[in-house]
Structures are given as structure tokens and as C-alpha cells.
Chains A and B, each alone.
Chain A
Amino acid sequence: DIQMTQSPSAMSASVGDRVTITCRASQDIGNYLAWFQQKPGKVPKRLIYASSSLQSGVPSRFSGSGSGTEFTLTISSLQPEDFATYYCLQHNSYPSTFGQGTRLEIK
């Protein structure tokens, strides 16, 4: 199985901050990576697919980049509604695997 390692596992930041979350794959996955946001008690929501394509309706402050084994999710200017847990998902090969999650909290 491909292992996805997210970092950090938790972080605190302030409204307006620029935030970057990293996901590393244990082997080359091309650009077969998606990012999800999950708020407490809610369904995960896809933000980014194909490493850098923004899901329709998602604010442009979210962006994704990377290919191969290293990927980043960037939030350019944190808004109050962005405090949540973020997961990456590789779907290059089965079984698809998630990162362990990054909890983003208010500082």
C-alpha cells in the first residue's frame, strides 16, 4: 500500500495567515491526489483534485500543488470558516489511502 504522511498533524494559526499543509507519498503517485476539508460532525468536502485543480465553488484562497511524492495544500489568507481538519487522498493505485489528517485550529 502507498503510505501518505501529512504534516503537521495539528497546527494553530490566525485569521489572515497563510497556511501550508504537506502530504508525502511513499512512492510516486503522479498527480493522483485530492484534498478534503472536514468540519466537526460534517461530511468531508473535496477542495482540490488532480493535485492542483480547484473544485467548483471552493474559494480561490485554496490551492494545491505538487506531483510525484510531495504535495501541498495552501490557504492564502485564513478565514474563520477554514478552521477544520484537512486530509489528502492518493488514488494512483489501490487501495486508495488517506493521510492521517491535519487539524487546523484558531490561535
Chain B
Amino acid sequence: QLQLQESGPGLVKPSETLSLTCTVSGGSITNSRYFWGWIRQPPGKGLEWIGSIYYSGTIYYNPSLKSRITLSVDTSKNQFSLKLRSVTAADTAVYYCTRDITLDYWGLGTLVTVSS
């Protein structure tokens, strides 16, 4: 059974960089059928698509975040990662990692709070 697990700091200071990693188990991140991606949800609000990455390096970003985000893949560890620079309180959210553009599998999510 495929599982995705987010990891990273739960608290980030304003203006710093949020870094999260998603570890995939029960399947290979190099499966040619799938993109891997990130979704976030601010407390009490709706879902926002952040971006998707293919294991070979093709990446799609949400234009609203494009200037601040970097997605990467580490096939040797079966992981993919998100970096979001220059964070503000508006970036406080639960961050989910997902499989496929249709979001068929989700991690449990991790709450990242931006606060000094």
C-alpha cells in the first residue's frame, strides 16, 4: 500500500525558508505514470495547489508562489521536497504531499506555523 509521509519543522520564523520532505513508501517515485506534488491548507480555509514534480525533473509551479518555491526529487531516497523562501504568516498552513495530478494519495499533512 502506497504511503506518503511529510517531515520538517513545524515552526518557521518570518523571512526564513520553509523546508519539507515527503517520503514515499510502498511504491517507487520513479514510476513513470505519476507526478508528485504539494497542496496546502491554511487553518479554516480551502485547499491550494502548490506545485508538482516528475522524477525526471519536469516541474510545474503555482504562479502565485513561483518566485519563492523550489521542488526537487531524490530518487535514491524515494523522496521529494519543497522549499518555500521568505515566508510570512500567510504561509501558515497544513502542508500535504500528494501523488498524481488527480491527487489519489495524500500524506497525513504537517502543520507549519510561521511565527517569531
Q: Are A34 and B49 in contact (CB under 8 A)?
A: no
Q: Which of A45, A98, A100, A101 contacts B49 (CB 8 A)?
A: A98
Interface string of A81-107 (1 = CB under 8 A from B): 000000101010011111111000000
Would A91 and B47 be within 8 Å (CB), given that A1-B63, A43-B108, A43-B109 are in contact? no
- B residues with CB within 8 A of A: 39, 46-49, 51-52, 60-64, 96, 101-104, 106-109
Q: Are B103 and A46 in contact (CB under 8 A)?
A: yes
Q: Are B96 and A43 in contact (CB under 8 A)?
A: yes
Q: Are A49 and B49 in contact (CB under 8 A)?
A: no
Q: How large is the interface on A (under 10, 10 to 19, 20 to 34, 35 or more residues)?
A: 20 to 34
In the A-B complex, the 6 residue pairs with the smallest Cβ-Cβ separation, listed nearest first, are A96-B49, A94-B60, A91-B101, A95-B62, A98-B47, A43-B106
What are the residues of chain B within 8 A of A94 when measuring CB–CB? 52, 60
Q: Is A36 an interface residue (CB 8 A)?
A: yes
The complex places the Cα of A46 from the Cα of B105 at a distance, in Å, of 8
What are the residues of chain B within 8 A of A97 when measuring CB–CB? 49
The complex places the Cα of A107 from the Cα of B43 at a distance, in Å, of 25
What are the residues of chain A within 8 A of B108 when measuring CB–CB? 43
- Closest Cβ of chain A: how far from B7's Cβ, in Å? 16
What are the residues of chain A within 8 A of B52 when measuring CB–CB? 94, 96
The complex places the Cα of A84 from the Cα of B88 at a distance, in Å, of 30
Q: What are 20 residue pairs bridging A and B, where the CB atoms are less than 8 Å apart in the complex?
A: A34-B103, A43-B107, A43-B108, A43-B109, A44-B47, A44-B96, A44-B106, A46-B103, A49-B102, A49-B104, A87-B46, A89-B47, A95-B61, A95-B64, A96-B49, A96-B101, A97-B49, A98-B47, A99-B46, A101-B46
The complex places the Cα of A91 from the Cα of B62 at a distance, in Å, of 12
What are the residues of chain B within 8 A of A1 when measuring CB–CB? 63
